[in-house]
Chains A and B, each alone.
Chain A
Amino acid sequence: MALKDKSILVVGAGSIGGIAAAFLKKAGYNVEIVCKYEDYRDIISNEGLKVSGVKGSFSEKMRAFVSVKDIANKKDIILLAVKATDMVEAAEDLKPFLKRNSLVISMQNGICEPELGRILGNDHIVGCIVGWGATMNKAGDLEMTSTGDFVIGYIDRIEDERLKEIAELLGTILPVRITGNIMGHLYSKLIINSCITSLGAITGLLLGQMMRMSRARRLFIEIIREAIELADVLQIKVEDYGNKLNYYEFISGRNSYFDVKRHITLILMGLKYRRLKSSSLQSLQRGKLTEIDYLNGYISASGREYGIPTPINESIVKMIHEIEDGERQITPANLDEEVFEKYYK
């Protein structure tokens, strides 16, 4: 069957899922989308998804549903672009709609692929890093804020023709790289998110404001150190982040020379991306749950499973849950918690 004849379902009509769906529809693919809300469904069906930003402006109408359960037929390719917190439920709903050869592209933040594999079977899962940025200005009004690429790969086997077909499909949107080490790429992104997103959420600060503080930089370093020590046990070879930050080099060396180097790296990162606002912070400020269990939570849960201590990541997970439950304020003073003190000396 030709790729253009395959049935494609995008689950999740946030900025990433919505933009992907609109680009694929524009390129002539057979695309349907699942969003969560009836009014949003009506906008997509009647007015279309409006895309703007760095790759131009256009709008595309398509069939939309409020639930996976509403779709009529099994699908060949599914782009799963829900929040990580909704991933398990979406995957359970998808089970009846998979064909023997269907592929589900996991576009969530954090590492969701192993859990998706447990629910749907590893044969169906394609790991994916979305390396471009987007935001939703309002329902149906989506903006691509930065370009980049996709990195895709299987979590348990080498590439095949089906994966190349997925590369061709996503290549309609932006360039695609196929990797034999998708877990290394996913883990790499997970680490940086566990630093930037989570520390931003507990402090309420932009990255630039945060990286001015030596305490925040110290925790940043310790989160990475814990994550890399765990990666060794998990037998994950962590890829460089953005082809620039090599985590192994970053944490190597314990004396003050290496420490100064680490701080300068973070200061420069803070300078370059000083206006970056944590997505978890934005979720908390909107009264929504964060994806913490799939970020630092993945590190601390795996650490517990394999007997590797990850006290910093564990404390951050606890703090963010307390903020979600209304038991803790978002404030830079969270960096002064006793549990962190020994890392500042």
Chain B
Amino acid sequence: MDELFIKATKNSPEIALSPDGTLSFKGRSIHENAQDFFNTVLDWIDEYINTPADTTFVDLQLEYFNSATAKYIIVMLQKLKEVRLKDKKYYVNWFYEEGDEDILERGEYFASVLDMDFNFVEIT
């Protein structure tokens, strides 16, 4: 399968998804029409989880995101949990700027509702 790379705009994050198992989301995500934007990503993930890499790294480095984006983060991570069914591993790295309690709390919230271990990485 091919890599998926979407360049950042002022309203959407940079997305780089690689079949070798590195899935990166970086920037801000305040899409008005998040559905169209994230459907491409979800389609890619649907294909990826059929033949995932031995280890999947999900790097979420979002400086701000709206509720519509939050919904797709949940759906996306929920899908990625399925790699475990194929005896593969995944790691979620949640990046937050030093002092940005809001983004840290949001990550903790996602980890809790999805019952996933996140690695919280402070950016100084």
Contact = CB atoms under 8 A, between A and B. Distances in A.
Contacts of B112: 212
* Main SS at interface, chain A: helix
A267 interface: yes
Given A271-B70, A272-B67, A211 B113 contact: yes
Interface residues of A, number: 10
B105 interface: yes
Contacts of A234: none
Interface in B75-124: 75, 105-106, 109-110, 112-113
A39 B55 CA distance: 67
Contacts of B113: 211-212, 267, 270
Interface residues of B, number: 11
Interface in A216-267: 264, 267
Contacts of A83: none
A211 B12 CA distance: 27
Nearest to B75: A264
A268 B65 CA distance: 12
A264 B109 contact: no
A208 B107 CA distance: 12
A318 interface: no
A264 B113 CA distance: 10
Chain B interface secondary structure, helix, strand, loop or mixed?
A: helix
A217 to B, nearest CB: 9
Contacts of B4: none
A277 to B, nearest CB: 15
Contacts of A270: 109, 113
A274 interface: yes
B67 A264 contact: no
A264 B105 contact: no
B74 interface: yes
A62 B71 CA distance: 49
B17 to A, nearest CB: 22
A207 B113 CA distance: 13
Contacts of B106: 271
Interchain residue pairs A-B with the least CB separation, the first 6: A212-B112, A267-B113, A212-B113, A268-B67, A271-B109, A268-B70
Given A271-B106, A271-B109, A271-B110, 5 more contacts: A212-B109, A212-B113, A267-B74, A267-B113, A271-B67
6 contacts: A211-B113, A268-B70, A271-B70, A271-B106, A272-B67, A274-B105
